[in-house]
Structure 1
Amino acid sequence: MAEVILNSQITTKLSAKALLSASTKFWFATTVVGQWIFASYVLVFYGGATFNGDIAQWNKVMPHGYVEGDLIGNLAVAVHLFLALIVLVGGPLQLIPTIRNKVPKFHRINGRVYILTAFILAIGGLFMVWTRGVAGADIGKYSISINALLILLFAFMAVKNAIARNIKVHLKWAIRLFLVMGGVWFFRVGLMLWLMIHQAPVGFDPKTFEGPFLTFLGFAQFIVPLIFAELYFKAAESTANGAKFMMATTMSILALMTIGGIVAATMSMWLPRM
């Protein structure tokens, strides 16, 4: 009887661990696909407008993206968009275990490019926000600035622990960095999911792009993913099967919500402009 109970406990533990792993991979795969769709949109829309010599088209979706006569500012925006493509495509590759284990040299090189790009994007984002402004209320400047500062901090911590060979800690900081780097993407997916659910601009004015929901989303775009990341870390390291099962359920729900937001954003924002 004792052997049966022990085997049952081992099976339950393995099932809980496997379910948490599967649900996390499901969310990650969903997020990567969504970010690559967004990257395709950035390349086609902004790249196409630039290639055709009609940079003013940027302003259709990015307020003050192009300002006539402001060469430095326009160049900063162009570089920011180009580097965003690099992190959207290369960032997720850093978190795939097969790539880290099978091609470590690529992981190191891609990692260096990713970290350097993260620093440039964060600093460039701060420059753009405080010189070009943001859509909607000025509170957006502060939420975006905090996001940028977190990128700088997490990138530094990821590098510091990689150099010290604290791989487990390094991976955690890399995950946190991936999440805050996706702040802009999370904002769009969250907004479109909200609109899809309510079928109306609830909690904000679509003309001024101001309102309590957008204020909340401006900070939630990086705070909420980080909260769930910390909950995941605790569940993965916990010996309690219940914690793993609960987090696996949560990750599955988040994945489904993410899919809804991706579909809504793709059909209403990205695909029509590609």
Structure 2
Amino acid sequence: MASTVWFGVTTIGLWLFGIYILLFYGKATLQGDFTSWNDVLPHGYVTGDWLGNLVVGIHVLLASILVIGGPLQFIPSVRRYAPRFHRWLGRLYIITAIIVSTAGLIMVWTRGAVGDTIQHISISILAIYCIIFAVLSFLYAKARQFDKHKSWALRLFMVVNGVWLFRVELMCWLLIHGGPVGFNPKTFSGPFLTALTLFTYAIPISLGLLELYFYAHRKQRKALSLSVSALIFLATVIQLVGIAGATIGMWLPRLAKL
């Protein structure tokens, strides 16, 4: 029950984010208003740098495939009644994860991303996780070792959505404290953001929670299952608050400006 509720909330949050990506960046791109990218991504569009702008565009627009297509891969009815769709979407998801992660690495180290060096290193580690987990997920599927494939696909799902989760957790923190606490919003640095990037990107708590879920599922001990379920419910509440805050306070207002 805990994992099902978590998955439902996560799916809603990811699809809202995916719709936002398509509407905001898609509309701005179609209208030729590339400078609007900078409202969200500092240095996202740089006049004259066509190659760098192309990398950013690929990274952002392909991200919509990850956040919208990812949850579909774990819906049992989709796998059961549309296996061919599942396989082809899975291939697309893995290829997209590798492309988006590679583009993200390029952006972080060539575009002057916000934040400090620890944040840049942490998100780079996340990108490396994505690439490795994507490759392993594909190899196990190709070898028809489907249990291992599913485990690595779930790990990939967790790390691929790290950037989304960072936004959601940050918004939850802002709502709880009524504003920025523990960091400087102008420099986008400070102890809270250092901790958030470390435990969302470099040492992902979401990945640790998934491993606890795997462990509890194997052991089938009541106390362990209840403890892990409680942690999953806590993560769900944090995400739910953050999703509501991000939708109302960040995504909808930006769309309204278009």
Give the TM-score, by structure 1 length: 0.90
Q: 1:34-87 deviations in whole A, cap 9, x for unaligned? A: 011111111111112112211101111101000000000001111111110111
- How far off is 1:218 after superposition? 1.2
Match status 1:109 vs 2:88: yes
Report if aligned partners of 2:25, 2:61 keep a CA contact under 8 Å in 1.
Answer: no
**Identical counterparts, % of pairs:** 47
Unmatched 5+ stretches in structure 1:
1-21
Q: 1:244-269 deviations in whole A, cap 9, x for unaligned? A: 12222221222111100101111111
Match status 1:52 vs 2:31: yes
Question: Aligned partners of 2:175 and 2:200: how far apart in 1?
Answer: 18
* 3-state DSSP of counterpart to 2:116: coil
Question: Aligned partners of 1:252 and 1:144: how far apart in 2?
Answer: 26
Unmatched 5+ stretches in structure 2:
none
Q: Residue 112 of structure 2 corresponds to which residue in structure 1?
A: 133
4+ residue runs over 4 A deviation: none
Aligned with 1:144 (options 97, 120, 123): 123
Q: Residue 205 of structure 2 corresponds to which residue in structure 1?
A: 224
Question: Aligned partners of 1:200 and 1:104: how far apart in 2?
Answer: 46
Match status 1:193 vs 2:172: yes
- How far off is 1:181 after superposition? 0.4
Question: Aligned partners of 2:186 and 2:176: how far apart in 1?
Answer: 20
Q: 1:138-197 deviations in whole A, cap 9, x for unaligned? A: 222211110000001101111111122221111110011001100110110010001111
Question: Aligned partners of 1:147 and 1:251: how far apart in 2?
Answer: 21
Counterparts of 1:167-186 in structure 2, within 5 Å, are 167-186=146-165
Q: Aligned residues, how many?
A: 253
- How far off is 1:123 after superposition? 0.9
Structure 2 residue identity aligned to 1:159: F
Report if aligned partners of 1:134, 1:140 keep a CA contact under 8 Å in 2.
Answer: no
Question: Aligned partners of 1:239 and 1:187: how far apart in 2?
Answer: 31
Structure 2 residue identity aligned to 1:204: F
Judge which range, 244-253 or 79-88, deviates more.
244-253
Q: RMSD value over aligned CA atoms?
A: 1.0
Match status 1:246 vs 2:231: no
Q: 1:90-137 deviations in whole A, cap 9, x for unaligned? A: 111111122112211111110010011111111111111111021121
Q: Residue 269 of structure 1 corresponds to which residue in structure 2?
A: 250
Judge which range, 247-256 or 184-193, deviates more.
247-256
Larger Rg: 1
Aligned with 1:256 (options 232, 237, 255): 237
Greater RCO (CA < 8 Å, at least 6 residues apart):
1
* 3-state DSSP of counterpart to 2:41: coil
Judge which range, 136-145 or 169-178, deviates more.
136-145
Question: Aligned partners of 2:15 and 2:101: how far apart in 1?
Answer: 20
Structure 2 residue identity aligned to 1:120: I
Give the TM-score, by structure 2 length: 0.95
